[in-house]
Structures are given as C-alpha cells and as structure tokens.
Structure 1
C-alpha cells in the first residue's frame, strides 16, 4: 500500500481545496495518471498518481487539504484493498468513510464553536474527546454560536492570494511611476479596420500588448526578473502578463513569446483567457512566467498605478478612453480620443529617464502611422 499525498504546489498557499476526484474507488491507475484536481488560490492543478495501483480515496471532494496530507491510497491488488477495507476502523483512521465517535463533552464543544467534521477528522482519531478538540480552538477556531453576531467578510482564497502578492510588492519593491498621454484616434481606426477585414475583434488592449512586446530588444531591463538569489535575469523573449477581472477574481494570464505573436494571435489568446476566467478554467502554468505586465482599467478609471508583481520589474497600465476638444488646422473645433499609458517600475533597476524613453516608444507605436503599420501587420 502506498499513499497519495498533496505536494507543495506554490509558495503562497498553506492549504488547497480538493475539487474533484477524476477516477472512482477501485480503478486501476497507471503511474502518472491524473487522479484528482486541487484548487490553489490561483488556479486548478491536476495531481498525477505517484505510483501505479488500485485507487482508494480518503478525502471527500470539496475538502481542504494541506501539503503532505494523505488524500488517497494505492494498493498492489484488489485483495490488499479488501483487507484494508475489512480492517477495524482504528487501523484506517485517515479514511473519511470511518465513523467518528464524539464523547458528550466533545459534541458540546463542536456545537458551541461550530467546528466542522473535516477539522475533527484531521485529528486522525476514531474516538474524539474534549481534550482532543481544545488545540483546534487554541489555534483560532470559530467563535461560539451564542456569541454576539458580528457582520464579517472573509475574502476568497483567490483574493487572499492577491493580498499576499500586493503585500509582498509593497514590502519589497521601491516603485516609481510615470505616465504619458496617447492620442488614439488613429489606433482605434486601425483596430476597427483589422476587425472588419479579418473577422476578429481588436481593440486598444491588443495593440498595446503588441507595442509592449515590440520594445523587448530595445529595453531589455524592463523585461528582467529577480531571482531567488537576488540577481537580475534578462529574458530571451517577452512574456506578457495581462490583468483580467471579469467578476470572478483578478488573474494575470501570460502571453509567451509575445514578440512572435500576430495581432490575431494576441486577440485570440486574450479572448481565450477571458473565457477561462469566467469558467474558472485557468491552470497554474497559464499564470506563470511573465517578465512584464499590462494592467487594464475600465471606465470610470482613467489613470491607475498598478502593483509590480514579483519577480517582475515593470508593469504597464492602460486607462479608460477619454475625449477632449481640439482645434483642427483650419481652426475648427472637433473631438479626439486619448488614453493615459503608465509605467510602474522598480526604482532599484530603472530610473525616470528609462521609464520616459519606454513610454515614448509605446506612444509612437500607438500614435504614428509607421508604428501602427508594424502593430497591425
């Protein structure tokens, strides 16, 4: 008999949720076959079977589990599995199918403090006393049922992960911020033309992603990342993380080798990312490996300073489109569209001059005929 344990999937989470078992009890599982889906704070991960054998599930779907916790077992053959199932409950206390017996004082404690049976099961005992439960309360349990009712809000696991990243960014990165104004009438016209001619939806976001990717060779430090040892690593190609929030939480999927992507490919990948966010289908690998970010704002937010997401050193921001009056060559009054494009940068590596040059290059790409020609071909 061998155990299936939960690995450490990322450095931010101390626990995960077992979303789904992919195979039923009693199935023969080859080594490496995905047997379960575990949700981290950022995405869902398939857990491959560490060995071959006959599966026996210990943990129910929807249960919180921690790195190193045993969630299932693999048996050499059916006879070994049947012997395990016929053993006394005390011999298989980790199995959720085993009935847990609570003493009267323990039942009273569970009721008064709203302790879940999942917490009780993790004690690994089939007979649970009050003394067994007291360490759970000392670690910060649920307040007693008869305590005063207080309105509380508990952030989702995903939002707690966002909070950890933002806290780390504020703690570790001395950020500077610069912003420029970009007239986008020509860019909007180019986007409309691409949409009409080629049949895929393009907007300022897609053009900006291509513009950022096009700066990789000229501004390599803007695409650098910090290593665990404190060194700075330059990247071979731009991998751009784009913020997406469709009401299910903030995600930053990565467009890899973005300088090799056509405008159509950028549009298709961003559309697929938005659909994945809506459906909760992101995998951890979809969210890893960015070396620069693009943060998107929607109306009414016209200017926003984003957080730099470690280990990156720069984050571009795009504000909502605005209009302003302007005088034409003949003195006539008309309206034009503009956006604010910002750059939040790690001041340990980049200074205001480099930030200004980078923003000027983005402005030229989005505002000049030659720049737009490169972005749309």
Structure 2
C-alpha cells in the first residue's frame, strides 16, 4: 500500500485546498495519471500516481484544507486493479439512466484520466466504436471554462484533430480536438455551459462503415445544408463582424486553422467589397430608409432600454486583477515627455533598407522596448516584485505588451528582450499581435512578464495613468505623438512630442528611482545612439 501525500507547494506556501478527484475509490490508475488538483493562493498543483495500481481509499475529500506531507489517498498495487476497475465501471454504469438527462452527469459518468476511451456502440446503430471527446488541460491554475460556439453539428463527418468546439477560459480560448475520424454522434454540453478539464463534451462514432454510416445518412440533408454554412468555420470575432456588416462568410476564404474564417479575413473581405448587399437587398434599401426616416418616440420603440449580458471569463478576470492591483499595491504615477524627432527621422531614413533586409517595418515599439530594458538594468527595483516579506529581483527582461482584442485586453510576453535586435522585437510583436487578435494565444504566451508597456496612443489617448499588471512593479504608458510648441535654446519651436507615464508600486520603488527610470527612457528615445553605446 502506498500513501499519496501533499507535495511541496512552492516557496512560502504551506497549505492547499483539495479540488475534484479525477478517480473514485476502486478505480484502476496508471503511473503519472493526475489523481487530484490542489489549489493554493498562487497556482494549482497536480498530484499524480507514483505507480500503476488501484485507488484503494481517498482520505482527503474535495474542499478539505491540507498541509504539506498530509495523506491524500492510499494506492494499492497488484493484479486486482483491473478487476476492481471493471467492477467500478459497471457500478457506475448501472444508475446512468437517471442522471444522463443532464450534460454534466453524462460527462461525469464518462470521465476517466482525461484521455479519450473508445467503447462499444450500444445505441443499436451497429458497428463502429463510440469515442469520448474530452476537455483538455487548459493551463496552469485554470480549472473551468465556458463552452463557446460549436464548430460541428451532430451527424457531421469529422477528422482526427479537427476542432469541435472552443472553450473560453479566463485567459485564452482552448480548442477541443476530435480524437478520431468519424461522425459526431452526440453533444453533451451546449454553448454557455461551464465545464472542467477531463469532462466529456461529445461522443464520436469512429469510422464510416456499417452502423456508423446510418446516422450520417439519416442526417444527410442537414449535413449537406450545413456544408456551406460559413459561420460553422468562423471564429467568434469574425461572426460578430459578419453580423454587424451583413457579410456572407460563406464567400470569405478562411486562413485560420482548418480553414476557419478569422476576424482579419472578415475585415479584409469588407475592404474588398465583400459586404456589398445583393441586388434584392439593394432594392430594399430605399424602402428601409423611408421607413426609418421619421423619428420614433420612446413609447413606439420596441427595443429594450436595457440589456443584460453575462461577462466573459476573460472580462471577469481582467476586472478582478485590476481591482486587486489597486487594493494591493501602493500605486503612484510619474510623468514626463519625450521629443520623438530623432526616432521619426531614423525610421524615415532607414525604413526601406530595414524592410528589405528583415521583411518587417521598423516601428516605435522596438525603440521603447530597448529604452525600457536599458532603464531597467540601471533601476532594478522596477524590474522586481514583492513576494510576502521578500523582494524578488529579476535578472531577465520579459516585456509584456498590452494588446486590445475583441475579447478584451491581453498582455502577451516578449521574452528575453535584452537579447533581441530591433528587427527581432518587431517580428515578435507582429506575431504576438496576430495571435492575440485571432484568439490563438496560449497560456505560456502570457506568463512571466517582468515589466509591461501599454500604448494607448494608438487610440488617440494624450495622457493616462496605467494600472499595474500585478505582481509587476512598473508599467509604462505610451501616448499619442502630437506636435506642440516647446522652448528650445531660447526659441519656440514645434516638435512631435509624446507624454510618458510610469505607474509604479511605491512599496518597492522610491520616487527618486521612478523619476530616474523615466528620465532614462526619455533620454534613450530622444537620442537613440545612447542605446548603441550603452550609456
């Protein structure tokens, strides 16, 4: 008998809360199967089986608070495991008719170690195994998500690894891949349902021969009618663009995964005239205009004056984290301004040669990243963070770049920016921005930043006070470049100026350090040669 105990939970973490068990007592488990997750105030820790065997007893129940070294369960080894596993599976199958009315019950009765498991076709459809499509792991500390729009219908033919549905978490959208080639036999959750990693969300009838072919033929008219239904293969953002502009997505060529239409594809179609109405719609436009021309009083209007829409997981997380930053950090903002003449002149002089050699335009962001890295090396407290009663100094420079998307604000990370050239930085920013807009950012893309840059200037912001991206100690706000009169050598001249704002955690960064940091950034921007000479 082997005891399963609470492992080390990380520095300064002494206890955790037991999450949902992935196995029941008597289940057969294999080495490295995830038995349960322990939730701490920082991350979720997976507890895995140390060897093949049977889960003999569960000591700590879901919701219990446990300390490091406490017993969670007992694992027995031996040949009895397979038999017990079968008995448990049969026992679980007996009461299935009553709870199987709900998607969650179906998912729980089919749930195993998180891997898809084929089972015999028992619905009278004939040959072809039915394989469960399960929710994959969605990243560190992510324990649930919201089911998004389904990309396939029941009865549709699907291929292995084809995306079935998107799960929206508080960080990224995760695709659920199809485990085998076959036909969608059943959907166990609908759009808006809350699901967890390992839950079975659909069942796929493997292959297309024998009984597996019958459902496909029965639903043939429906499948054929859906074949050209573009929204089925479109990202949610693209669907919104189509709905707002009466765009027929069936006529838009998709460049996303599996040929799906992205928001960029939809916008490109609009620019090329893809949203032009057909002849019948064009004839109706004057009639619509005539009908809507008179003012409609409030009493006559049939539209609701209020509308309640549930916040997305990402929006909820953004709101929570921003408020936590305000409540936790002693946040203060200092301002300065930079003359952008030198950078604008350098871009104009070398742009063509830069593009010819590197295949990407020379933008402003690469100069700002380099300037910030240089200043962070001089003022290390701005690149540090507070952990309990300790200060953690970072000897690496991962720049978070705030990007606004249809789903909300995300901050992908430009790693080891001190080792990148201007061209490398521009390429990475373009790639991360495209992934953010297409909803393809991974958890890893947004973890580990030590400092953040936020460019509100692209939206016309002249001045702002950015909020810290906890647990970081500093964030630089960039703003609109605007020509202003300034005094220079006793004369008034017009220069392209940008206001700079540094918000910092006053618990770790003193006012002198914050002001010095911002002056170093200003100097590097106004004289980029300082970066070349490392001064």
Unmatched runs of 5 consecutive residues or more in structure 2: 1-88, 90-109, 112-133, 206-211, 213-302
For residues 485 and 143 of structure 2, the distance between their equivalents in structure 1, rounded to whole angstroms, comes to: 50
1:17 aligns with 2:176: no
Partner of 2:309: 154
When residues 46 and 314 of structure 1 are mapped into structure 2, their CA distance, relative to the original with a 3 A threshold, is same
For residues 337 and 275 of structure 1, the distance between their equivalents in structure 2, rounded to whole angstroms, comes to: 29
CA RMSD of aligned residues (A): 3.9
Within the candidate set 348, 351, 356, 1:192 is matched to 348
When residues 281 and 27 of structure 1 are mapped into structure 2, their CA distance, relative to the original with a 3 A threshold, is closer
- Partner of 2:377, secondary structure, is coil
Q: How does 1:78-227 map to 2 (within 5 A)?
A: 151-154=306-309, 156-157=311-312, 158-199=314-355, 200-227=360-387
For residues 371 and 198 of structure 1, the distance between their equivalents in structure 2, rounded to whole angstroms, comes to: 20
When residues 192 and 64 of structure 1 are mapped into structure 2, their CA distance, relative to the original with a 3 A threshold, is farther
1:288 aligns with 2:447: yes
1:67 aligns with 2:196: yes
Within the candidate set 341, 349, 361, 2:500 is matched to 341
1:320 aligns with 2:480: yes
1:278 aligns with 2:437: yes
For residues 193 and 244 of structure 1, the distance between their equivalents in structure 2, rounded to whole angstroms, comes to: 28
Larger Rg: 2
For residues 439 and 322 of structure 2, the distance between their equivalents in structure 1, rounded to whole angstroms, comes to: 22
Within the candidate set 230, 236, 244, 2:403 is matched to 244
When residues 16 and 176 of structure 1 are mapped into structure 2, their CA distance, relative to the original with a 3 A threshold, is same
For residues 333 and 343 of structure 2, the distance between their equivalents in structure 1, rounded to whole angstroms, comes to: 24
Asked whether the equivalents of residues 335 and 500 of structure 2 are also in contact (C-alpha less than 8 Å), the reply is yes
Q: Report the alpha carbon displacement of residue 246 of structure 1 after superposing the two structures with TM.
A: 4.8
Deviations 1:252-272 (A, max 9, x none): 111000111111111111122
Q: Report the alpha carbon displacement of residue 249 of structure 1 after superposing the two structures with TM.
A: 2.3
Q: Report the alpha carbon displacement of residue 18 of structure 1 after superposing the two structures with TM.
A: 5.2
Within the candidate set 257, 261, 281, 2:416 is matched to 257
Deviations 1:56-111 (A, max 9, x none): 86534645333364435799xxxxxx9xxxxxxxxxxxxxxxxxxxxxxxxxxxxx
Asked whether the equivalents of residues 326 and 334 of structure 1 are also in contact (C-alpha less than 8 Å), the reply is yes
Asked whether the equivalents of residues 190 and 372 of structure 1 are also in contact (C-alpha less than 8 Å), the reply is no
- Partner of 1:250, secondary structure, is strand
For residues 136 and 430 of structure 2, the distance between their equivalents in structure 1, rounded to whole angstroms, comes to: 32
Q: Report the alpha carbon displacement of residue 44 of structure 1 after superposing the two structures with TM.
A: 2.1
Asked whether the equivalents of residues 165 and 310 of structure 1 are also in contact (C-alpha less than 8 Å), the reply is yes
Within the candidate set 493, 511, 532, 1:352 is matched to 511
- Partner of 1:245, secondary structure, is strand
For residues 236 and 46 of structure 1, the distance between their equivalents in structure 2, rounded to whole angstroms, comes to: 35
Q: Report the alpha carbon displacement of residue 308 of structure 1 after superposing the two structures with TM.
A: 0.6
What's the TM-score, normalizing by structure 1? 0.67
For residues 151 and 390 of structure 2, the distance between their equivalents in structure 1, rounded to whole angstroms, comes to: 41
Within the candidate set 13, 19, 39, 2:168 is matched to 39
Partner of 2:50: none
When residues 353 and 155 of structure 1 are mapped into structure 2, their CA distance, relative to the original with a 3 A threshold, is farther
What's the TM-score, normalizing by structure 2? 0.49
For residues 153 and 346 of structure 1, the distance between their equivalents in structure 2, rounded to whole angstroms, comes to: 36
When residues 6 and 311 of structure 1 are mapped into structure 2, their CA distance, relative to the original with a 3 A threshold, is same
Deviations 1:279-310 (A, max 9, x none): 22222221111111111112531111111111
- Partner of 1:41, secondary structure, is coil
Further displaced range: 194-203 or 257-266: 194-203
Structure with more relative contact order (C-alpha pairs < 8 Å, separation 6 or more): 1
Q: Report the alpha carbon displacement of residue 247 of structure 1 after superposing the two structures with TM.
A: 4.7
When residues 318 and 62 of structure 1 are mapped into structure 2, their CA distance, relative to the original with a 3 A threshold, is same
Partner of 1:367: 526
Q: Report the alpha carbon displacement of residue 313 of structure 1 after superposing the two structures with TM.
A: 1.2
Partner of 1:266: 425
When residues 248 and 47 of structure 1 are mapped into structure 2, their CA distance, relative to the original with a 3 A threshold, is closer
Q: Report the alpha carbon displacement of residue 191 of structure 1 after superposing the two structures with TM.
A: 2.6
